Structure 1
Amino acid sequence: NDFWAVSLPNDLATSSPRSPSLFAYHAALVLLDAKALFSKIKVADLLDPSMHANRAAVERHHLFPKGFLSKQKITGIRDTNQIANYALVEWGDNANISDQAPADYLPNMKARFKEMELERMYRLHALPANWEHLDYRDFLEKRRELMAQVIAEGYSTLVAEKIGEDLEEVEIDLSKLVLNGESEAVEFKSTLRTNLHTGDKDARMELAVLKTLSGFLNTNGGMLIIGLSDDGTPVGIQADDFTNEDKMSLHLVNIVKSRMGIQAMTSLHAHFDDHDDCRVMVIKCRKSPTPIFLKDGNTERFFIRTGPSTTELSASQTQEYIKQRFMG
């Protein structure tokens, strides 16, 4: 909605080191278990005051260093110290980077990490693609938008934690969730099994639902609401043409058990609710203690949530993710 897409990016257009929006971004990095930029150490650990060093363990690094910007005739503190130009790094990296151009220092920094690590790092540190080659003003604008998305993702983990506290008993304000829109922890689907364009049952609709559920289970949990379009418009569950709600619940249980395994069902709870005069199915997902694979024909696929979307990982990415998420 407008807050995440317009108001928050505008609030991030500041050089104030005590901006509430900056604090929200740093809090989101902690909630999302992010590591400092170009580091193997978590932001939460680096911000821990019990860590001692000659300098602070973590420092705010100018992504476009002031010395570099001065050569571009950008010297005002309000310009160089925009919070969108800062990232949290270990102090040693900050000292090594000094006033180098981003395109000069970035290759050596990236060489330390695997592709999947870099993808997550770029997402959580709100770095646009090829940011090192962008015009500084364009970079700031794009990064503010991405920072707002990270803050939204951090907020969504609080929703996911609330969902996971007790799948059956925690009260969820459905209207508020719908108003906030889709996020890492919330997604809408129009139907469980019916293609609204053809009016026929369509296995692709079921697959889309199962992808979302497996993504929630493999990440931080979440909630899938069936009976709402992508923008939250009420559709209702009548298009799925089940005899009654019990039949719809049983169908969900059967496809989850057959394609994701009985373990997945222990982390799911479905119920029905009313929203804007429409009946919807609400599926709450707890963060799974074990990896959940989705059977698709003769193959098994692995999905996670990345922001408000579900992403399939390759075999090597899956192996690395399982090592970090389930065995770390």
Structure 2
Amino acid sequence: MDNISFLFYWDIIMNEDRTIFKKVDMDLSSLLTYIEIGDIGLPDIQRPFVWSASKVRDLFDSMYRGFPIGYLLFWNNPSRTDVRQIGTEGKQHKIPNLLIIDGQQRLTSLYSVFRGQPVKDENYQEKIIEIAFRPTDGKFSVSDAATKKDTEFIDDISKIWSDGKSSYTIVKDFLNKIKEKREISDEEEDKISHNLDRLFDLQKYPFTALEIASTVDEAQVADIFVRINSEGVKLNQSDFILTLLSVFGEDLRKELETFCYESRFPVKPGGKPSPYNHFITPSPDQLLRVSVALAFKRGKLQSVYQILRGKDHTTGKYSEEKRNEQFEKLRISQKSVLDLTNWHQFFSALQGAGFKSGNLISSENALLFAYAFYLIGKNQFKLAQYELDRLISRWFYTITLSGRYSSSPESMMDSDLNLIKDLQTEEEFKSVLENAINNTLTPDFWTISLPNELITSSVRNPVIYAFYASQIKQNSTALFSNKYISNLLDPSIKAKKKFMDRHHLFPKAYLMREGIEDFKLINQVANFSFVEWPDNIRISDTPPQEYLLKIKEEKKFTEEQWRLMHINHALPDNWENMEYTEFLERRRLLMTDIIKQGFESL
């Protein structure tokens, strides 16, 4: 830790002249033993094990060379019970003294290798970390086919400690293996023996741990973590709640992880339905937010942490009874959130509104918060499916167009949930959401705000996604084509080449020849439209006056087909002959009309 980091750290760990931490020294063997018997709990306070095998290799190399590998940060919290630990079943203490806040990835790596235990990767699949070691020169490598065949390597150093052999036996066995293949000098034998002894003695590697007092709350712990963590990692409130799930509701945490893992595959083993969809591959913390919104009508997770710990807001005290009550609420809500029928019906409603897939979704927050309102409408207010689909589709259009959750999403969601938390009837719920929609999408929004939002070259602008969704909703074909945009954007069809391209209506090279060189102006979203990729290639940099005549003649469109195609793509009459900036202004207004028509068709 450098001096500046230490000063920041000292600033947070001193509270009214009272030190809230102490320094503890121990060796690695002791650390691993404490984890194994349960004195140190190792809940998933951060994320799944994400270190690469090469990073674990580098960790061992640093320790082997005697380099420091950083401190550990523990949180003394003896009031917690039933904490899940990694380690040997049957030898765990029920109440661990310490929880690991910083250093989890290092300690998990060491525990996995020293004890030969698997870890879970970012896809929640178990894997074994295998590190190889060459005693002749002290080189560490990630174990692979080459190291496994090479007699100069110990292909998996876990065996050094897990086999229970003495260092003398390990050295003797390795030397005998080498001597079977080649001769070694006395000098080389001494070097091999020395290097193997050093490897074996890594279990004596010294660690310094900083132990935070149990009186410190989770907000301060998170602040300490942020201030002193050299990798810029930040603990979120969802990390602490997921930790509580590991502590008091392991089944809930496991269900979340399993759901997220299965969402990566179209079908589960045996051909069973899965959460897979073309909108989102969720993470546990994202689904947790939906469950929390449904269970407690809260968008901010900070207060939910205290609720789940069993805090009584009247007395300020914590109780096991209250904690169990709150966890049961969360359990009921999570069951609904992870219900495959609810999950897929929600996405079906979005598809019915024209949002074909995640390619037309600009904000996952908007997606997940809309799902929360969908479940509230279904579970609490018992809306009929057709009414629910229509209402949530209109709501999703609204939050997409307005960027409702783009800034301070938790606070905005909290505010929206406050609007409905005391409602009693279906009609009240529908009325509150419709009022929020109408108050957002005002006449001024359609005539002033929305056209201005289209003055952009950003291809991920939510407004342009709403335009494409409206075209899909109205069964528009691609420009210069009789094929529907919805079919050409079908996410289930995988091809080497996309069926459609975003085509510059006024080609880039043509505009530059005309003296327009500002790419932000050239790449305005109003200068793009979907065409089939062969048409895009054929048009190239030809002026619109020329390529329009050629395409109309080649494809033999009728006047009515030509007129409707121009309307559906928001192209003003005689646009090809307009001055470019006038064309952009006129088309933005027509694009706004298309979006409004799509919204009003719901």
Q: TM class by shorter-chain length?
A: 0.3 to 0.5
Q: Normalising to structure 1: TM-score of the pair?
A: 0.47
Structure richer in helix, relative to its length? 2
Q: Normalising to structure 2: TM-score of the pair?
A: 0.26
Structure richer in strand, relative to its length? 1
